[in-house]
Every structure is written in structure tokens, then in C-alpha cells.
């Protein structure tokens, strides 16, 4: 928050605060806003797309979570296995909740 007070357009700070909120499952509307703002600055950053996917996952908006995780994978991040595992996790949760017919 202090970093954002100094520079409200610092994408990394926006994403980091969004991730903190998501990791603690608190203040999800603010997390969503922060995450979207970070992606306005760096729309192809896989880390930021991952954060947005996590927020949507917590909100049980599985289609949006899947969409953003797929976008993250399209960027060929160096830790691609992490993104692949997370995509599979989202698919499983969506399937179990009845929001996806195939895994």
C-alpha cells in the first residue's frame, strides 16, 4: 500500500497487493480491481494473469479463471509446470462443481 501511495501505476505493486488479498481470501473486490489495473499496464504478464485467475477461482468464476490461466500459459512462462498444474486444478474444481462437463 505504501508503494502504491508513491506510484499508483506500479504494476508489480498492484499485483503483489492483489496476490496478498487473494492468498488471505480477503478483500476480493479490491484484489480484483488491483489485479485488473496491473494487467492494464502489463497485459501479457503471466504472473499477473495468474493472480487474476486465482481471484476468479476464489470467487468460483471458473470460466474466467480458466481463461486467464490459459492466457498465462500462452506467454510461455519459465515455470510453465506451475501454470499447467494450476490450470488442471481449476479444471478439476470447475468439473466437481458442475461448471465444466469435461476435464
- Cα separation, 89 vs 92, in Å, equals 5
User: Is residue 99 pLDDT above 90, yes or no?
Assistant: no
- Cα separation, 37 vs 52, in Å, equals 10
pLDDT in tens, 71-84: 999 999 999 999 99
**Four-point Cα dihedral 30, 42, 46, 71, nearest 10:** 90
Higher pLDDT, 97 or 43: 43
pLDDT in tens, 4-57: 655 566 799 999 999 999 999 999 999 999 999 999 999 999 999 999 999 999
- Per-residue DSSP letters for 60-80? T-HHHHHHHHHHHHHT--TTH
pTM recorded for the entire structure: 0.88
Cα 30 to Cα 13, 25, 56, 100, distances in angstroms:
13, 11, 13, 27
Amino acid at each position: 500500500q505504501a508503494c502504491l501511495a508513491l506510484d499508483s501505476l506500479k504494476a508489480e505493486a498492484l499485483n503483489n497487493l492483489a496476490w496478498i488479498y487473494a492468498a488471505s481470501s480477503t478483500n476480493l473486490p479490491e484484489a480484483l480491481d488491483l489485479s485488473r489495473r496491473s494487467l492494464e499496464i502489463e497485459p501479457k504478464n503471466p504472473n499477473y494473469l495468474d493472480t487474476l485467475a486465482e481471484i476468479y477461482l476464489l470467487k468460483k468464476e471458473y470460466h474466467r479463471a480458466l481463461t486467464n490461466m490459459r492466457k498465462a500459459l500462452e506467454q510461455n512462462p519459465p515455470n510453465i509446470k506451475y501454470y499447467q498444474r494450476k490450470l488442471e486444478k481449476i479444471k478439476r474444481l470447475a468439473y466437481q462443481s458442475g461448471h465444466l462437463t469435461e476435464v
